[in-house]
Amino acid sequence: MPINNDRNQVLVALRDHPQGVRSSELGEMLGLPLDAVERHLLYCTDYALATWEKKKDRTGLATITNRGRDYLTRQGL
């Protein structure tokens, strides 16, 4: 899996918020455009690094999975 710093930032933010966080909140916290955050979340869900259900009103919570935590550990994050 290629390293992507923005994606890693999204995963770290999810790790730091174990209760879950909305995509719009992630964008604000990280200073990333919402479409970029959602693209990274889709990638992370495809690889089982996170769980997230995209909703039109952006109320779906994203959470990191154990696999996502392992990925961050392997990246030294």
Question: For position 50, which CATH number holds?
Answer: 1.10.10.10
Q: Please indicate, yes or no, if residue 76 is contained in any of the structural domains.
A: no
Is residue 77 in a domain? no
- The alpha-carbon radius of gyration of the chain (Å, integer) is 11
- Does residue 7 register a pLDDT over 70? yes
Q: Give residue-wise pLDDT tens across range 62-72.
A: 999 999 999 99
Query: How many domains is the chain built from?
Result: 1
What local confidence, expressed as pLDDT, does residue 2 receive?
53
Let me know if residue 19 belongs to a domain: yes
Number of Cβ within 10 Å of residue 30's Cβ equals 16
Choose among 16, 28, 30: nearest CA to 58: 28
Predicted structure pTM score: 0.88
Task: Measure the CA–CA gap between 13 and 11, rounded to whole angstroms.
Answer: 5
Mean pLDDT of 34-43: 93
In this prediction, residues 16-45 reach a mean pLDDT of 93
42 domain-assigned: yes
Which structural domain, as residue segments, surrounds residue 34?
A: 5-71
Residue 51 lies in a domain: yes
